[in-house]
Amino acid sequence: MMLLLNAKGPHPRGEGKRRTRLCLLIAAFMAFSPLAHAFDLQQLSEQLAKPHVIHGDFIQEKHLRALPKPLSSTGTFVLAKDHGLLWQLKTPLQQDYRITPQGIARRDGTQWQMLPGKSAGAEQNRLFLAVLQGDSSGLQRDFDLQLQGQADHWNLTLTPRSLLLKQVFKHIDIEGGALVQRIELHETQGDSTLLTMHNSISHQPLTAAEQHDFAQ
């Protein structure tokens, strides 16, 4: 989940972009759903459709085989069911991203700049839309899903089906209780990314600034 978007690693630029986009999509799917009673995909879909706005913080650690220590970043997120996702990096650099049905955009000063959309990005945007709509069938087109545990402590494993995703990921593990707390992506080349969400709340509406960001 390459949310350290400007961190330099051993991967080619194109592969890094695909990884970045997929990780944002997985974050959009898993970071913001109350799953207190989600023990099958139907219940999961129903829970995904309930929250209108979710605010929270994240910590990400990117473990690269070539580096002795993980690359860490922190930030905040806003997920609005009727609009999309704002992903706001705070440290070690500041950079804002927005995902909407139109694609992924990066803030450039006071404006949003759309990132190039290619075939892999279009496929990931389709996945993102399925997630926002609580469409588990959309996820099942790309992953085998296995849900285990109890309401207060559960885990979900996503195993890629498509050739594109199999080239990047072995599997994705998600853990949580009332909300998702931890996402770990295991890559085929041996690298991994750990994303921890905390302070997530679903009772706060969009601020005027957030509404403006989504409207641009």
Is pTM beyond 0.85? Reply is no
pLDDT value of position 38? 43
pLDDT for 53 equals 87
| Beta carbons of 20 and 168 less than 8 angstroms apart | no
Cβ neighbors of 97 (< 8 A, separation 6 or more) are: 5, 24, 86, 87, 88, 89, 104, 105, 106, 107
Per-domain residue ranges for the chain? 13-215
Fold of 13-215: outer membrane lipoprotein receptor (LolB), chain A (2.50.20)
When the pLDDT of each residue in the chain is averaged and rounded to a whole number, the result is 77
Q: Can you give the pLDDT at residue 2?
A: 37
Question: In this predicted model, what pLDDT tens digit does every residue of 54-110 receive, in sequence order?
Answer: 899 999 899 999 999 999 999 998 888 888 888 899 999 999 988 887 788 899 988
* Rounded Cα distance, 170 and 160, in Å: 7
What residues contact 12, with CB distance under 8 A and at least 6 apart? none
pLDDT per residue as tens digits for the range 151-171: 667 788 889 998 888 988 899
More confident site: 18 or 68: 68
* pLDDT for 138: 67
